[in-house]
Each structure stands twice: as structure tokens, then as C-alpha cells.
């Protein structure tokens, strides 16, 4: 049994979807640094930085960083097909996971918490930092879309970890409208991921239709 620390409508949805694809039993514990509760103290015991998602493994140890969790789940549950078996294609899928973590996820942190990166910040500086970082985030997604054209999915013929991660992070970060305008085929591929029978229920739970 895994324990997933996360929050509805956040990046933890990618891990929830991967666990679902793997058919792995897990329990969801809702907590986050921006909305702490009693469970947050338990999260800090296995991840002192308090980030979500964090996955408590069956042996009780903690695993953080979404890309690392997705790679681990592929190793632990190879039949789920989270990463391609072909060596070259697998390498590129891992590259894509780390690209999102290093370039997109990090930008979202600055947009959400600009005060962590600038002392004595007034409203004008906060707005400029957010605007500049969002432009950079959008550019990173454009580059990603060009690197990973759907065929029909981002790492091959079937849905996998790279699709889950890209679909969740673009949705959570509010990048979809930009991509619909500037990278329409990529936007269409992400929409296809959300409605895939293997994970549609996870996306619907995290982002209910209004």
C-alpha cells in the first residue's frame, strides 16, 4: 500500500494517475504547505521540505519529486507501461520528465511564491516577476511541445508517464490557453490524455466539470 500526500487539483494528480494505471493500491492524504492540517506533520517526517506530491512507499520511506516518483513507479510496475521499453525512446521520455521538473515546475514556484525570491518586494515588483516568469514558462512549454510531438502520445503509441506529467502540470499551472493558441496540436494531445479511459476518472476528480 502506497500513501500519496497531495492536494486535489495540484501536481499530485500525475502520481495519482500513474498509480491508477499501475493498478497499485494507495490511499490519498490531502495536505499542502499552503493549507496545512494534522497530516502535514506526518508529511514533514518523510519530506522535510513539505512539498507535494510525496509518496510514502510500502516500506515506509518517502519519495519526493514528481519525475523521480514516476520513474520509480515504472520500475516497480513495469507492466503498466509508464515508460517505453525501447531504450532510446525511454531515454527521451525520461529527458522529458526532467525537462518539466527543471524548467516548468520551477517557474510555477516563482509565480506562486515570488516573495521567496525577492526581498522587500512591493506590489509592482511582484507583478513584474510573475509576468516575466509566466512568459518564460510559456516559452518552455513551446519548446517542450516542439521536442515531443504527439505520435499519437508524447512518448509513443500509448499513454505513459510523460503524458500524465505534461497534462497535469499544464492544467494546474494555467498554461492551456496559451498552448491552445500557440501550440494547438500539443494542446489537443493533452486534452486526449485527460479523457483517456485509463485515467479519465482521476482528472475528473481533480478538476470536476463546472
Whether 67 and 96 map to the same domain: the answer is no
Residue 204 within a domain: no
- In 3D space, the residue among 19, 72, 197, 188 whose CA is nearest the CA of residue 83 turns out to be 72
* Structural contact between residues 187 and 180, judged by C-beta atoms closer than 8 angstroms: yes
Q: Are residues 51 and 100 in the same domain?
A: no
pLDDT value of residue 168:
98
Do residues 126 and 99 both lie within one domain? Answer: yes
Would you report the helix, strand and coil content of the chain in percent, each value rounded to 5?
Answer: 60, 10, 30
Q: Is 60 helix (H, G, I), strand (E, B) or coil?
A: coil
Domain span holding position 161: 87-196
pLDDT of residue 171: 96
How far apart are the C-alpha atoms of 132 and 70, rounded to whole Å?
A: 30
Indicate if 56 and 76 belong to the same structural domain: yes
What pLDDT shows up at residue 3?
A: 98
> Is residue 111 situated within a structural domain?
yes
pLDDT in tens, 54-83: 999 999 999 999 999 999 999 999 999 999
- Of 100, 93, 183, 92, nearest to 145 by C-alpha is 183
| pLDDT tens digit sequence for 173-208 | 999 999 999 999 999 999 999 999 999 999 999 999
| Predicted pLDDT at 101 | 97
For the stretch 18-34, pLDDT in tens is 999 999 999 999 999 98
In CATH, what number is assigned to the domain containing residue 56? 3.40.30.10
- Mention every residue, 6+ apart, whose C-beta is less than 8 A from residue 53: 4, 5, 6, 10, 11, 12, 14, 15, 64, 66, 69
End position of a domain, from candidates 50, 80, 110: 80
Looking up residue 169, the CATH number of its domain turns out to be 1.20.1050
Q: Taking the complete model, does pTM exceed 0.85, yes or no?
A: yes
Spell out the residues 6+ positions from residue 85 whose beta carbon is closer than 8 angstroms to its own. Answer: none
44 and 121 part of one domain: no
Examine residue 203 and state whether it is found in any structural domain, yes or no. no
pLDDT of residue 209: 84
pLDDT of 43 over the 80 cut: yes
pLDDT at 8 over 90: yes
Look at residue 159 and tell me if it is in a domain: yes
Q: Is position 143 within any domain?
A: yes
The answer on pLDDT for 210 being more than 90 is no
Residues 6+ apart with CB under 8 A from 112: none
Residues 48 and 115 in one domain: no
Q: Are residues 128 and 176 in the same domain?
A: yes
Q: Is residue 205 part of a domain?
A: no
With CA atoms as reference, report the closest residue to 207 among 163, 166, 161, 168: 168
Block residue for cell numbers 494531445: 189
| Residue whose grid cell is 492524504 | 29
Single out the residue in 80, 105, 124 at which a domain terminates.
Answer: 80
In a domain, 124, yes or no: yes
Same domain? For 55 and 12 the reply is yes
pLDDT, tens digit (0-9, with 9 covering 90-100), for 85-135: 999 999 999 999 999 999 999 999 999 999 999 999 999 999 999 999 999
162 and 185 in a single domain? The answer is yes
Cis peptide before 152 (omega within 30 of 0): yes
Query: Do residues 68 and 158 share a domain?
Result: no
Q: How many domains does the chain have?
A: 2
Strand 54-56 to 2-6 pairing: antiparallel
Rounded to an integer, the average pLDDT of 29-48 is 95
Q: What is the CA radius of gyration of the chain?
A: 17
111 and 141 fall within a common domain: yes
Q: Are residues 94 and 127 in the same domain?
A: yes
Amino acid at each position: 500500500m502506497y500513501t500519496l500526500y497531495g492536494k486535489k487539483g495540484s501536481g499530485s494528480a500525475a502520481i495519482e494517475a500513474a498509480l491508477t494505471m499501475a493498478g497499485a493500491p494507495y490511499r490519498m492524504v490531502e495536505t499542502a504547505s499552503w493549507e496545512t492540517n494534522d497530516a502535514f506533520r506526518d508529511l514533514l517526517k518523510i519530506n522535510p521540505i513539505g512539498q507535494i506530491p510525496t509518496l510514502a512507499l510500502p516500506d515506509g520511506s518517502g519519495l519526493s519529486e514528481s519525475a523521480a516518483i514516476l520513474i520509480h513507479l515504472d520500475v516497480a510496475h513495469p507492466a503498466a507501461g509508464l515508460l517505453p521499453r525501447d531504450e532510446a525512446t525511454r531515454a527521451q521520455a525520461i529527458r522529458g520528465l526532467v525537462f518539466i521538473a527543471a524548467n516548468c515546475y520551477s517557474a510555477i514556484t516563482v509565480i506562486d511564491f515570488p516573495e521567496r525570491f525577492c526581498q522587500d518586494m512591493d506590489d509592482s515588483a511582484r507583478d513584474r516577476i510573475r509576468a516575466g516568469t509566466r512568459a518564460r514558462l510559456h516559452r518552455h512549454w513551446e519548446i517542450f511541445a516542439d521536442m515531443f510531438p504527439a505520435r499519437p502520445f508524447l512518448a509513443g503509441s500509448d499513454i505513459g508517464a510523460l503524458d500524465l506529467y505534461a497534462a497535469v502540470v499544464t492544467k494546474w499551472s494555467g498554461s492551456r490557453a496559451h498552448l491552445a493558441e500557440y501550440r494547438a496540436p500539443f494542446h489537443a494531445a493533452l486534452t486526449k490524455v485527460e479523457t483517456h479511459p485509463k485515467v479519465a476518472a482521476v482528472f475528473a476528480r481533480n478538476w470536476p466539470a463546472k
